[in-house]
C-alpha cells in the first residue's frame, strides 16, 4: 500500500493507525469427536442456549456461546450461562487486538482521484475507494 500511494502527489494522502480491537468469546471445546460435539449441542438446545461455530479454526471442533468486545463482558455472560446450568464453558480470546490502517485521501480533485484509483486498486484487492463517513 505504501508503495502504491508513494506515486500520488505529496500531501494528498495519509495512512492512519486504526487498530482492530480484540474480541472475547464464551467457548466450549475443543471436543474429542463429532459425537461429543453433537451431544453438547443437544444439551444446549434443551437449555435454550444459543450457539454457533467459532470463527477461529484453532477452536474447532467447538461451540461459541457469544462474542464480546471485552473480557469483562464475556465473564459476565459466562456467569449468566452458569446460572442456566452451563458448566464447562470458558472465556477465551477469539481475536487479539490487531494493527490496522486507514488510508485517507483528503484533498483529491477528479484527476488525482482517477490516478489514485488506478494506483491503489491492485493494493486494495480490486476494492473501490469509498468516501469516509
Amino acid 133: pLDDT:
67
Is the domain of 40 the same as that of 90? yes
Question: Among 16-30, 48-62, 67-81, 109-123, whose mean pLDDT is lowest?
Answer: 109-123
Q: Are 102 and 5 in contact (CB under 8 A)?
A: no
Residue 130 within a domain: no
Is the domain of 30 the same as that of 84? yes
Dihedral pair phi/psi, residue 121, rounded to 5°: -55, -45
d(CA 78, CA 72): 10
Is the domain of 67 the same as that of 108? no
- Residue 24 sits at the vertex; the CA angle it makes with 102 and 1, to the nearest 5 degrees, is 20
Is the domain of 9 the same as that of 64? no
pLDDT above 70 covers a percentage of the chain that reads: 99
d(CA 94, CA 72): 14
Instruction: Residue 116: give the domain boundaries.
Output: 2-18+102-120
Amino acid at each position: 500500500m505504501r508503495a502504491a500511494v508513494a506515486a500520488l502527489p505529496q500531501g494528498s494522502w495519509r495512512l492512519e493507525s486504526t487498530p482492530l480491537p480484540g474480541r472475547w468469546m464464551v467457548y466450549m471445546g475443543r471436543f474429542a469427536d463429532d459425537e461429543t460435539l453433537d451431544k453438547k449441542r443437544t444439551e444446549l438446545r434443551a437449555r435454550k442456549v444459543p450457539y454457533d461455530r467459532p470463527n477461529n479454526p484453532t477452536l474447532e471442533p467447538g461451540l461459541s456461546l457469544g462474542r464480546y468486545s471485552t473480557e469483562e463482558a464475556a465473564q459476565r455472560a459466562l456467569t449468566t450461562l452458569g446460572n442456566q446450568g452451563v458448566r464447562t464453558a470458558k472465556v477465551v480470546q477469539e481475536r487479539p487486538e490487531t494493527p490496522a490502517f486507514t488510508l485517507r485521501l483528503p484533498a483529491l480533485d477528479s484527476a488525482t482521484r482517477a490516478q489514485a484509483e488506478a494506483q491503489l486498486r491492485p493494493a486494495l484487492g480490486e476494492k473501490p475507494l469509498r468516501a469516509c463517513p
